[in-house]
Structure 1
Amino acid sequence: MHNRRARLRELLVADRAAGGAVSTVALVCARCVVELSVTGAGATVLSEHHVDGDRAAPANRGLVHATDPVSAGLEDLQLTVGEGPCLDSFESGGPVLVADLAADGARWPAFTPGALALGAAAVFSFPLQFGVVRLGSLDLYRDVPGPLTRTEVTDALILSDMATQGVVEDLDGHATADLSWLLDPHVEVHQAAGMVQAQLGVSTDVALMRLRGHAFTHDLPLAEVARRVVARTLRFARDEGR
């Protein structure tokens, strides 16, 4: 496992040196296509809120990267219909591996027909998480049925861990070892979230997601976005991002 991790890390370093995408997440997704014999890959960030019953469902999402239009379409589809491997992986905290989507159609009756129409025949999702803190998922698809090998699953788990580190870097500008923004955001971020909550009439969780989404979209640290909101040089509109 250690040797495979070191090998994959060396490959990502070489990809970056060769003039590949600047984003670690983009590099990981591209490497997934090469190493795992999949057709496409995407990474999505999710947040949670409570709905009826005990189930927690994603409240907001952001597509961090997709290698091709089908990968992007699959992310949008499952988050639109409210089911699919990405959401199951995010909720369970474990991999979701479906080698033949057409044969397992009853599992996601709303997602499967659309996914097949997009060109996906097999789907595989791996959570992006630090311990119990879940950020989203790394999602792969093949245009022909077929399982991942044991080695490919191992590599996918390693690559999902690397993508998780990349998501933290991209979203907030912190070092990957610094999880304070996830577990206990700075007071100014809390203050900014409260102001956005009042501006939009949304929950605190949604307000935080809007702040993080703005930071990612405009390539800014979350703390800088919060400072602008508190200084009233940045204001969120109800229809922004729709």
Structure 2
Amino acid sequence: MTENHRLRLRALLAADDDHGVGPLTRICALAVVELQVTGVGVTLVSRAGSVDAQQRLVHASDAVAARLEDLQLTVGEGPGLTAITSGAPVLAPDLGAARSRWPAFCPDAQRIGVAAAFAFPLTLGAIALGSLDCYRATTGPLSRDHVACGLLLAEMAFEALLTEVAGHAPDDVGWLSDIHAEVHQATGMVSYQLGVGVQAALLRIRAYAFAHGLAVATVARRIVDRSLLLDDGNGTTP
């Protein structure tokens, strides 16, 4: 069921590709319809969890979604930030009941018309790039199918976001011929170690590099000399 749902969502995104609208814009618009929410925003967080972490709004479906992302950045808390640090969806169907969890965020969010918020981390294993944040103007939970759909849309947003910041699509491996051979070698090593295809291995390397503020070549060198191991969760030092 999940794979069929993924294929359906990708087909819907592809159907809108002729309109010259960027993928993140289309993903947010699709999320509004599929999750039956009022608005959606995508926030990028580089070096999450570190003292020099940086957060910025990448796209918002409407003005309230944009203000919601700005509010989380201002007060330093909220569903999106919690989703990023926990690596799991954060569902708040009634912000009035969540004030003890986010005392600085909830009152102001309610004042701008947000009654419920749902956040999905943009992650690959334990590598987090940001969050897909949805809000409703009325209280009420997401259904199980809506949560599953949100996770799939977050997966697609992760790929789109990485493509935007790295300049290469996840399935584009042609550019490898123009860079250091260590990236080729590292991609092969990660592919073998994790039992995934070359494209998936390269996506993991790119994601780790971006999330940690490193050059792809630097990450590749550390993988090749075995000072860095990309496992199914996060990069570890042997």
Find the aligned partners of 1:101 and 1:20 in 2 and give their Cα distance. Answer: 36
TM-score by length of 2: 0.72
Aligned residues: 182
Task: Show the counterpart of 2:133.
Answer: 139
- Counting only pairs closer than 5 Å after superposition, residues 1-150 of structure 1 correspond to structure 2 as 1-17=2-18, 19=19, 21=21, 23-48=22-47, 56=50, 59-150=53-144
**Residue ranges of structure 2 left out of the alignment (5+ in a row):** 171-198, 210-214, 220-238
TM superposition shift of 1:57 = 6.3
SS at match of 2:9: helix
1:12-51 C-alpha deviation (Å, 9 max, x unpaired) = 111223x162x2111110100011100000101102366x
**Residue ranges of structure 1 left out of the alignment (5+ in a row):** 51-55, 190-242
TM superposition shift of 1:132 = 1.6
Task: Show the counterpart of 1:239.
Answer: none
SS at match of 2:15: helix
The one-letter amino acid of 1:153's match is V
1:159-216 C-alpha deviation (Å, 9 max, x unpaired) = 0000000001111112324333443414599xxxxxxxxxxxxxxxxxxxxxxxxxxx
Which range is displaced more, 32-41 or 57-66?
57-66
Which range is displaced more, 168-177 or 113-122?
168-177
TM superposition shift of 1:64 = 1.0
The one-letter amino acid of 2:137's match is D
Which range is displaced more, 36-45 or 179-188?
179-188
Task: Show the counterpart of 1:169.
Answer: 163
1:183 paired with 2:184, answer no
Question: RMSD of the TM alignment (CA)?
Answer: 1.9
Aligned partners of 1:123 and 1:139 also within 8 Å: yes
TM-score by length of 1: 0.71
SS at match of 1:159: helix
Find the aligned partners of 1:49 and 1:151 in 2 and give their Cα distance. Answer: 29
**1:2–1:156 distance in 2 versus 1, CA, 3 Å:** same
SS at match of 2:30: helix
**1:5–1:103 distance in 2 versus 1, CA, 3 Å:** same
SS at match of 2:88: coil
